[in-house]
Amino acid sequence: MSAAAKKLKIVHNDDEPAAPVETIEVTETIVTETVEIVVTDDDSAEPAPRGDELRLLEALLFAAGEPLDEAALMRSLPEGVDVKDALARLKAEYATRGVNLVKIGRKWTFRTADDLSWLLTKNVTETRKLSRAAIETLAIVAYHQPVTRAEIEEIRGVATAAGTLDVLLKTGWIRPRGRRKAPGRPITYGTNEAFLSHFGLEEVADLPGLDELKGAGLLEGNMPSGFGVPMPSDDATLRDDEDPLEPGDLDLGLAPAPELELEPPQASAEAAPDDGEGEK
């Protein structure tokens, strides 16, 4: 430690009577500290040891095609490992990564982090081709609406499969209008706004007529006498031969049929009367 001494002199004004000079001695002490800096090479530092149970859990969950429950994970871990504690540590380890360990019900799986999911979202438009029967049915509904299934079959000349109308209903291109005032009260069908939007029509009356269809090569040259293309109309007002739909009509039978409880064969055999005659 070193010390330095300084002297401070106080001098009075010359106009005032001379006075003895006073000398004040000030001593300042300077302390020098030594700081030791230790530099550690990070490249040579070894990572903290990671338990084998975490590596095993990680591999199991990444390889699984579906979430796994704790019981299934426990069967693959060494004996004595606390699977809940290991999952909690693995979840904390992946909390800040691009994928997170999440619990769904009673099962565990890796999922993309919530804040990154929008980057991986991809909208795909799936194009499906309509069958020939569906295209013919759609054309008949568009030009002849309101029309029933029986009338569609009469125009096409063949029976219409149940799935054909279902496909068109699911696309939203046709809709049930009402019920025909006829025996059985069949449902009548017509086009919907989605039909106009898909085919770029302002109204259904813009559909091509007979001359336009012939010019486009969609109709054969030798047409039967009296053949014509009706003027289509999608007026939502029910016609005189239509009744409005009832609440139960909108189901259209698309819901799965309820399962029937069949009597066991053994019980049926026991219930049948025994006439003592064998099967002939």
**156 pLDDT exceeds 60?**
yes
* Residue 86, in any domain of the structure: yes
Of residues 11 and 119, more confidence is placed in: 119
Q: Looking at the structure, do residues 225 and 175 belong to the same domain, yes or no? A: yes
In this predicted structure, which of 22-36, 78-92, 164-178 has the lowest mean pLDDT?
22-36
Last residue of a domain, one of 65, 86, 116: 116
Sequence letter at residue 199: F
Whether 187 contacts 179, CB under 8 Å: yes
Please list the residues that pair with 23 across neighbouring strands: 9
- My answer on whether 108 and 137 are in the same domain is no
Predicted pLDDT of residue 201:
85
What percent of the chain has pLDDT above 90?
Answer: 26
More confident residue, 223 or 168: 168
Contact 34, 14 (CB under 8 A): no
Confidence class for position 208, pLDDT limits 50, 70, 90: confident
Query: With pLDDT > 70 as the criterion, what percentage of the chain qualifies?
Result: 67
On the CB side of 60, how many CA atoms lie within 13 Å of its CA? 23
143 and 227 in a single domain? The answer is: yes
pLDDT exceeds 80 at position 197: yes
**Cα–Cα nearest to 168, from 140, 203, 134:** 134
Closest among 85, 143, 127, 70 to 93, alpha carbons compared: 85
Check whether residue 101 and residue 193 sit in a common domain: no
pLDDT at 262: 41
Residue 16 has pLDDT above 90, yes or no: no
Across residues 122-144, what is the average pLDDT?
A: 85
Q: Which residues contact 126 (CB under 8 A, 6 or more apart)?
A: none
What is the tens place of the pLDDT at every residue in 239-277? 888 989 887 766 554 444 444 344 444 444 444 444 444
Residue 177 lies inside a defined structural domain of this protein: yes
Asked whether residue 220 carries a pLDDT value surpassing 80, the answer given is no
Same domain as 65, residue 137: no
pLDDT band for position 13 (cuts 50, 70, 90) = low
Task: Give pLDDT, residue 91.
Answer: 92
Distances (CA, A) of 78 to 51, 66, 75, 86, 95: 12, 22, 8, 12, 25
Return the structure tokens found at 62. Answer: 């990444």
CATH number of the domain enclosing 93: 1.10.10.10
Q: pLDDT tens, 20-39?
A: 555 556 555 555 566 565 55
Look at residues 175, 167, 171 and name the one whose alpha carbon lies nearest to residue 147.
175
| Beta bridge partners of residue 191, listed in sequence order | 174
- What integer pLDDT is reported at residue 32 of this predicted model? 56
- pLDDT at residue 131 tops 80: yes
| Whether residue 146 has a cis bond before it, omega within 30° of 0 | yes
Residues 167 and 215 in one domain: yes
Short-list 198, 191, 130, 211, CA closest to 164: 130
Number of residues written out for the chain: 280
Higher pLDDT, 54 or 38: 54
- Statement to judge: residues 142 and 199 lie in one domain: yes
Name the residue range of residue 97's domain.
52-116
Partnered with residue 108 across adjacent β-strands are 68, 103
Q: Is the pLDDT of residue 67 over 50?
A: yes
- Same structural domain, 192 and 224: yes
In a domain, 260, yes or no: no
Per-residue pLDDT, 199: 86
Q: What is the pLDDT of residue 11?
A: 53
Averaged confidence pLDDT in the chain: 76
Q: Specify the pLDDT at position 186.
A: 92
Please count the structural domains in the chain.
2
The amino acid that residue 206 corresponds to is D
Question: What Cα–Cα distance (Å) separates residue 119 from each residue in 28, 98, 102, 122, 201?
Answer: 67, 11, 19, 8, 36
Q: By C-alpha distance, which of 64, 254, 108, 102 is closest to 176?
A: 254
Give the type of residue at 110.
F
**Do residues 96 and 143 both lie within one domain?**
no
Indicate the pairing of strand 187-191 with strand 22-30.
unpaired
Q: What are phi and psi of 227, to 5 degrees?
A: -75, 135
> Is residue 115 pLDDT above 60, yes or no?
yes
Q: Are 112 and 190 in the same domain? A: no
